[in-house]
Every structure is written in structure tokens, then in C-alpha cells.
Chain A
Amino acid sequence: MRRTRYKPEIKRNQTFALNITSMTDMFTILLVFLLQTYNTSEVQIENVMGLRLPSSNTEKNPVYGVKISLSQDELKLDQTILAHVKNNEFESGSIDNNDSNFIKPLFTALQKINNESTSKDKLGRILFQADQELPYATLRKVMYTASQAGFPNLKLVTVAGN
């Protein structure tokens, strides 16, 4: 005798309720985490490609200022490349012949900002993002030129945490 194959009984009109409790739990945890990381700072600083900021335990939020970034390859003012860097040295054309610490394009750009700017820019503040591996000799050139151009308030941008 041939055996008949088992056929489960399917009720075509049956409805079911999806249990979304666990999904709600997951979303609640995610929401709390995202609310915690939500940035309330008035100034947004974007990460610069190829630049690793040092970490610090400072608790001060960024303030308004002219954004200068110095990576292993280039010096930028906002998104504009001002000078190229190779082996921790600025390219010879960008350095003044009589003063080895003076970066000509940076000075010109900052002076232009000083002349054209609104009162906010005239605070003389610089938000300085520099690569953590750069030596002080390279950083000092930027600091020196910035102060010569009338920007003596230097804010070193760091990553939060130790």
C-alpha cells in the first residue's frame, strides 16, 4: 500500500500578530546611544582626510575661529591648500627667504581675512588641527605666522578621550 505524504493543515484566512517588543527594545537602546553622542556644540569641525588628531582630556567645546589644518602632506585654510609639506618640512617656495619660520601663503590668506572679515573673525582665533605625529618645529611655523598675521589666540583641536 502506498503511503500518503503528510500535508500540514494550513488555514488560509488565519492572521498573526508580529511580536515587536524585542525590536522596540533594540531601537530604545540605539536611540539612547545616539542621543548620547548627539553633538550640541555650536561649531562643527570636520575631519580632515589623512590627519590624525591627538587625543586629550580637555572638556572645552570648539568655538568660532578660522580653521587651519596641518597634515603630513599639506597646510590648509578651510578647504584651500596653502602649502605642501614633505618630510615635516614646508616646500621651499612657501617659506620666506629671510625668515625660516614665516609661511608666506598663510600670512597672505590670514591678512586677507583680517582685512575683509566681520567682527567674529576679528577675534584673532584659530582652530588649529594638526597631525599628532608632526614635530613642534613644523607646528611652530604655523603658530609664528598666525601670530604675525594678528591671530594670537590658538585653539588646538583634539579628539575627546584618553
Chain B
Amino acid sequence: MAGRYKPNINHNSEFELDLAPLLAVMVKLVPVLLVSSAFVQMMIIETELPQVVQQALAKQDINPKVTISMEIDKKQGVNIIVNEAGNEKIKQISMLPKNEFDFEKIHLAIQEIKKLHPEIFKIEFNPSADVSYKDIVKIMDEVRKTKSNDIRFPVKDEKTGQLSNTDYMFPEVIFANTLEG
């Protein structure tokens, strides 16, 4: 009786994977991606100008009692003004010795204000004429989101009525003094 055929398998044998086709694909893909890649990634910051009167008024109508604004001056520093039903509270943050804005203190001050008014997401900016665009953008970054992982602000979902948490503080920035002479 003939025995069943058993192929002779050498378990110690080695083989080389043919990487040439893989390399060929990569050589074609790399130049395509090199051409279409954006090494400098650009983003946008959304702002509103005060001329959108109707929209701005509509938003103010939702919460007319509290407005938060920021006066930014190259000499005086930053004044954060919280107007609560006509009652103004001003928090002043002075400049650092090298005539630089104290971004850390600005962030902490804004964080405290946000804790008191979690329902407000809009802030008005009033920069002086000599404040550089770079500093304005940096301050916008400081007020947009909290840097702390432990701090979250309650926000109510209008559709479901449920409370959720957000790290956003004041993402809506309005340049309030654009129209001033």
C-alpha cells in the first residue's frame, strides 16, 4: 500500500521578500505628496465686526445683563471690564518689565471671569492704535480656550436641555472700536 505523500518542508529555510514593487509605489507617491503638501499650515480666527448690528443685537438680547470687554494698551496693559447690569468691574493687568503683555495673568483673569459667567462666549476687544497684530492674536489665543485640563465650563445644550462641559472660554471676539475715529 502506497504511503501518503508528505512534502519535505525545511523549517529552517529563509526567503527574501521582494520589496521592489513596494519601493516603486513609494517612489511615485513621495513626489506627488511633496508637491501637494502644505508645510506651513494656515488656520483662521473668526471675528465679527460691530457693523453686523442685527446679529450682534440678537446675541446681546439673549443675555443683555453682562458684557465683557478688554481694553488693550501698549503702555497701560490690559483692562478687563465686566459690565453687569450697568455695574462695572475692572481688572487691570499691567505690562511686564520689558514692555510685554503678561499673557499668563490675562489668561488666569479671563478664566476666573468665565467661571463666574459660563453662559457668555462673546468678548469685545478695544485695542489701542499702537498694539501689534501679533499681540492681538496672542491675546485672542489666551481668551479662546482654557489651558488647564482640570477646568471645564458648564454649557447647556439648547435642544436637549442637558448640561455638558467645554474648555472654550470666549471664542467670539468682536473688534468694538473699529468704527471709532
Contacts and interface: CB of A to CB of B under 8 A. Distances in A.
A contact face: mostly helix, strand, loop, or mixed: mixed
A81 interface: no
Contact of A131 (B133, B141, B175): B133
Given A54-B138, A132-B137, A152-B51, A34 B26 contact: no
Q: Which of the four size classes fits the interface of chain A?
A: 35 or more
Contacts of A161: 41
A60 B46 contact: yes
A157 B41 CA distance: 10
A54 B33 contact: no
Interface in B124-154: 127-134, 136-138, 140-141, 144-145
Contacts of A97: none
Contacts of B134: 54, 132-133
Interface stretch (B16-24, B75-83, B157-165): B16-24
Interface residues of B, number: 48
A58 B141 contact: yes
Contacts of B16: 17
B2 interface: no
B15 interface: no
A146 interface: yes
A130 B118 CA distance: 32
Contacts, number: 156
Contact of A137 (B38, B130, B141): B130
Interface stretch (A7-15, A25-33, A104-112, A113-121): A25-33
A100 B180 CA distance: 11
A158 to B, nearest CB: 5
A45 B138 CA distance: 21
A24 B37 CA distance: 21
Nearest to A57: B141
Contact of B42 (A24, A130, A160): A160
Interface of A: 17, 20-21, 23-24, 27-28, 30-31, 34-35, 37-39, 41, 44-45, 47, 53-63, 100-101, 127, 130-137, 139-140, 143-144, 146-148, 152-162
28 contacts: A23-B23, A24-B22, A27-B27, A31-B26, A31-B29, A35-B33, A37-B41, A38-B33, A41-B38, A44-B38, A56-B43, A56-B45, A60-B44, A63-B44, A101-B181, A131-B133, A132-B137, A133-B133, A133-B134, A136-B129, A136-B136, A140-B129, A143-B178, A153-B48, A154-B47, A154-B175, A157-B43, A158-B137
Interface of B: 16, 19-20, 22-23, 26-27, 29-30, 33-34, 36-52, 127-134, 136-138, 140-141, 144-145, 175, 177-179, 181
8 nearest CB pairs, A to B: A137-B129, A34-B33, A39-B38, A132-B134, A27-B26, A147-B51, A160-B41, A54-B137
Given A37-B39, A160-B41, 6 more contacts: A24-B19, A38-B37, A56-B137, A140-B129, A154-B46, A161-B41
